[in-house]
Structure 1
């Protein structure tokens, strides 16, 4: 559900006045090392030279089999950096991060670590943008991590879910979910049936490890994490944008419509993109630019 081609992070060709990317290893609350990259905003006016506190940071959550160095992720980061500072990272089991992929469960802790890092760097406003598996993770993260001003305002979360009642410093101020599923265990399309084979079968996990550089956990979910459709109503009052292509081969349009309906009146904005396929590979620069503009609306970044 993400690019399988490889390539390491390249230095930006933007003016030398722009600081180079900062690469670090973050440690999640359950002790998994996660590789992450921070890139300042590259816009030539307005935010150039502005303090982090005055600019938005966008934290990008990639799709399954993606990583911080995959071309589609780097392209998204470059477009987003025209509007905001950008944090990209590799989920557990992907790229140079440790651990094994739980395909959207414990990954909420990886995202929380990346968001908390953006705040440690000085950004007061942080927006999460997730694609496919990352899209489901940003929805759950948005439901589980409260802003200080809204602590206790949302319905209670499942305490078995990792991140429930977590430190408010890891919360998102707005959430963008692209090409996300509405429910778990969906097998209604051929690509999703192939994905389940990769995740659940030993031969499939072998292909995932050596074909897609993705190390997948062998254990079943226990307990089953909060599904995206149940997470969406708990994101408010943070703004939520749902983006989905009308030619998505993985999840048909009933998925984003179910999510939008679950958000309730005014709870989410839904963009159905004509001719778009799935996730970060299918999102063209124009769409990424619009997403970044939505994410930074009303800010100096």
Structure 2
């Protein structure tokens, strides 16, 4: 359902996409006239394409091609409730399909934290993309080894915590437990090949320590690359312009080879 037609002038166009299970997904397109490469950006938990840090990442990527940003279910202006990485693959699939309808010949997904797990699972289960970049992504579920992750699990597992997340962070979390439990990123990473995978992680990440990127990288097949970034914290809030530029260049080089 189109709410604001995408422009050809370089100005962003807004859209409301519909996921395969009927959830309305708020999305934005920053066009590239050549329609060669499009980056589809998947934000982290409690994020949105309207958030300044996500917008900054999108602006950096836009120097190298078109960009599609979207709000996962339960986030921002999208409908539904967050399943914290399970059904979100359907939201990403709707955004990738939109990029294809817009005429892009190459599509790369770039995900952060929860979004990083989603881009890996989406490429493994659905395909249809030309490169994948997973930043600060967990390799496995139910991780509680750091204080931030213990606090997060305590919040999403309790009605009061979900109320706080909804009111303070504007994110609606589903009260339903996963059933069945979706395959973890590390368990499906091998299916990405021959899609190139770049795993990016900071050695100062306070949510997921570096055994997560090493586990994800080890599970994947070639072509793959692992960057452990000195001093980098967690997800889009920690990523600066220089790293965005390097990731965009990596994508450009690898989609050109396919």
Is the pair's TM-score, using the shorter chain for normalization, greater than 0.5?
A: yes
Moved over 6 A (4+): none
Question: In the alignment, which residue of structure 1 is the partner of 2:15?
Answer: 24
Question: In the alignment, which residue of structure 1 is the partner of 2:164?
Answer: 207
Gaps of 5+ in 2: 1-7
Matches within 5 A, 1:92-241: 92-146=73-127, 171-241=128-198
* Residue 277 of structure 1 pairs with residue 233 of structure 2: yes
| Structure-2 separation of matches of 1:267 and 1:295 | 12
Any idea what the Cα deviations from partners look like across 1:214-268, whole Å, max 9, x if unmatched? 000000000001101011101001000000000000000100001111114x342
Q: CA RMSD in A?
A: 1.1
2:137 is paired with a residue whose SS is coil
| Structure-1 separation of matches of 2:193 and 2:228 | 21
1:24 is paired with a residue whose SS is strand
Question: In the alignment, which residue of structure 2 is the partner of 1:59?
Answer: 40
2:133 is paired with a residue whose SS is strand
Any idea what the Cα deviations from partners look like across 1:176-202, whole Å, max 9, x if unmatched? 000000100000000000110221111
Question: In the alignment, which residue of structure 2 is the partner of 1:294?
Answer: 250
When you count helix as a share of all residues, which structure comes out higher? 2
Larger Rg: 1
* Residue 257 of structure 1 pairs with residue 248 of structure 2: no
